[in-house]
Amino acid sequence: MPIAFVAGATGYTGRALLAELARGESEWRARPHARAQGKVDGAVVCDPLDVAALTDGMRGADAVVQLIGTVRKRFDEGDYEKIDYGTTVALGEAARAAGVSRFLLLSSTGAGRPMGRYLKVKRRTEDWVRQSGLDWTIVRPSFIVGPGRRGAAMLGTLVGWSPKLRAIEVSELARVFVRALERPAQVSGKILEGASLWELLR
């Protein structure tokens, strides 16, 4: 069975992806990563900036799914360089060292034409991945909604006429990643945003 090393497994999207893979409808299985013990059963536990530890943890995996990013409650702190860019570079370097060629990155709508520091760091992170030599896929959802995030759902509905800005349920986003893992020829070297993202759910 192919293995996906899931960085950010304890986060909002990470938990949904673990649940989706645990359903057993895909041949892919998760190897979750966590920063601390006790967060996720069977997780590889290490600092997400520790390239050597990450390399050891992802040996034998078939893909890396990078879901680590700045959470909403920390937007004001603005530590995007370390959280979004730094962890992606560390994971990408570890993937190359461990011989894991596929790299899937969770980014954000707006990174294509970034305005503001947050999206500019997202774009810089994407650029690094595209130039990394890895077999990459970038996923750019808009509003991620679900349990505990219904306020964002209302805003997503207001702008939902645009496929690019349409809100996506976290469970649907998890399925996007699973299908991207399952369909490398369809998503290799591509940015999934708007219509191309929703295409994977049909």
pLDDT in tens, 91-115: 999 999 999 999 999 999 988 888 8
Identify the structural domains of the chain with CATH numbers, from first to last.
3-141+170-194 (3.40.50.720)
SS (H, E, C) the chain: CCEEEEECCCCHHHHHHHHHHHCCCCCCEEEEEECCCCCCCCCEECCCCCHHHHHHHHCCCCEEEECCCCCHHHHHHCCHHHHHHHHHHHHHHHHHHHCCCEEEEECCCCCCCCCCHHHHHHHHHHHHHHCCCCEEEEEECCCEECCCCHHHHHHHHHCCCCCCCCCEEHHHHHHHHHHHHHCHHHHCCEEEECHHHHHCCC
pLDDT at 162: 65
Confidence of residue 75 (pLDDT cuts 50, 70, 90): very low
- Predicted TM-score (pTM) of the model is 0.91
